[in-house]
Amino acid sequence: MNISRKHILTGVIVLVAVIVVLLKYWDYVVNPWTRDGQVRADVVQITPRVSGPIVRLAVEDNQRVNTGDLLFEIDPRTFAANLSQASAQLDNARDNYLALEKQVEAEQAQVDVSRASVLQAESNIKELDATIVKNKAEYNRQQDMLKKDATSQKAMERARANYQIALERRKESVAGLTQSKASLAQSEAALAKARANLGAPGDDNASIREAQATLTQAELDFEFTRVRAPVDGYVTNLDLRIGSQAVTNQPALALVDINSYWVHGFFKENAIEDIREGNKAIVTLMTYPDSPLEGYVDSLGWGIAQQDGSTGDDLLPNVSATFEWIRLAQRVPVRVHLVNVPEDIALRVGTTASVLVMTGDSEDASEQHAPALPRALQ
């Protein structure tokens, strides 16, 4: 009888313990979870924009850097010389523009003079035409009066001379007008050529814009000799040395973006049916097994490759399946965004994590506080 009571008591204790464990870890019974998870982050490849030997290395491997911090410096002397040369070329372009502008002004002044000469010659011809008419009439009158002995031969000859002088002056003026028109045409051609050589006015001038673009590129190249951190993060895979050659668009080091951490939980395909974007997630890092982190489902993968590897055909994530007797349940990546990560938790890319997704109602799930995954299951 005593033995039976002991057995009953033992059974009750075991049953209570089982119930307590089930209650404590009930979320892991009714919700999908996986211990096949990894911490991820954006890894930014640092590629120099110019080539040259490295003369300064401002960081060490695994060092924390902030946006804008100097990572390394490429020998700037060649680029400083190019910058000085480009600045001088811009000055020369502006000086040439001013010289061509003055030439245009001079040619314009010559056109104005030639045009004034044409107008003056045309005015002289009109005046001479009037004088010729007047002198011819006087000459004819003197001839008629001479026939009637009403004037002297000398007066008639003087009238004829005045008439002939006016005719000669008109011929000279016509010749001058022809010459002035030719000079005007020549001046206008020279003005057109000078304007063509000058090009567009001011900063729109092609030569100035070209020199300015060259200077801007030289300034950028000089600035690019100082390679700076584009994001807050950690230096990783640093294999640079002072004196080593930096090559344009060739990765020199990498930065782990400290503001981009997330967790990829790889769930069996038969466990994702109830997972929705926005579901609360509990992440337990193998590094910190007693400090579960909270997050939410950001997205679910829409395709996986069939072979092992980081990336398969068509750039789909490649996840190896877990063998289960005959059929293989594929693993689908579920991206989890972490929230309110404590400062004493150091996230590291590639480390292992277990992920529990609370698939209940969003309001209920947000109030649930699941415990960390038992160590035996981690």
Q: In this structure, are 322 and 347 located in the same domain?
A: yes
Q: Give domain status of residue 321, yes or no.
A: yes
pLDDT of residue 362: 43
Res. 1: pLDDT tops 50: no
Q: In this structure, are 366 and 275 located in the same domain?
A: yes
Calpha distance 247→51 (Å, rounded): 4
Of 156 and 215, more confident: 215
Q: Give domain status of residue 207, yes or no.
A: yes
Q: Give domain status of residue 198, yes or no.
A: yes
* Cβ 362 vs Cβ 278: under 8 Å: yes
Q: In this structure, are 188 and 276 located in the same domain?
A: no
Q: Taking residues 5-20, what's their average pLDDT?
A: 65
Q: In this structure, are 367 and 330 located in the same domain?
A: yes
Q: Give domain status of residue 147, yes or no.
A: yes
Q: What is the CATH number of the domain that holds 60?
A: 2.40.50.100
Q: Give domain status of residue 175, yes or no.
A: yes
Of 181 and 16, more confident: 181
Q: What is the CATH number of the domain that holds 106?
A: 1.10.287.620
Over the stretch 294-307, which tens digit does the pLDDT of each residue have?
A: 999 999 999 887 65
Query: Structurally, how many domains does the chain consist of?
Result: 3
Q: Give domain status of residue 313, yes or no.
A: yes
Q: How confident is the model at residue 364 (pLDDT cuts 50, 70, 90)?
A: very low
Q: In this structure, are 315 and 194 located in the same domain?
A: no
Pairing of strands 226-228, 327-329: unpaired
pLDDT of residue 376: 47
Q: In this structure, are 270 and 195 located in the same domain?
A: no
Q: Give domain status of residue 366, yes or no.
A: yes
Q: Taking residues 129-135, what's their average pLDDT?
A: 89
pLDDT of residue 150: 82
Of 20 and 107, more confident: 107
Calpha distance 170→125 (Å, rounded): 6
Query: Which of 218, 241, 270 is the last residue in one of the domains?
Result: 218
* Cβ 100 vs Cβ 191: under 8 Å: no
Half-sphere exposure of 20 (CA within 13 A, CB side): 6
Over the stretch 72-98, which tens digit does the pLDDT of each residue have?
A: 999 999 999 999 999 999 999 999 989
Q: Give domain status of residue 24, yes or no.
A: no
Of the candidates 277, 280, 278, the one whose C-alpha atom is nearest the C-alpha of residue 31 is 280
Instruction: Name the residue range of residue 243's domain.
Output: 48-75+230-250
Q: In this structure, are 265 and 288 located in the same domain?
A: yes
Q: In this structure, are 196 and 86 located in the same domain?
A: yes
Q: In this structure, are 278 and 178 located in the same domain?
A: no
Q: In this structure, are 178 and 239 located in the same domain?
A: no
Res. 341: pLDDT tops 80: yes
Number of residues written out for the chain = 378
Q: In this structure, are 104 and 193 located in the same domain?
A: yes
Cβ atoms within 10 A of the Cβ of 178, count?
12
- What's the token pair of residue 265? 């939980």
Q: In this structure, are 87 and 67 located in the same domain?
A: no
pLDDT of residue 180: 87
Q: How confident is the model at residue 361 (pLDDT cuts 50, 70, 90)?
A: very low
Long-range Cβ contacts of 316-322 (<8 Å, 24+ apart)? 319/266, 322/36, 322/268
- Scanning the structure block, which residue is given the tokens 């294999």? 239
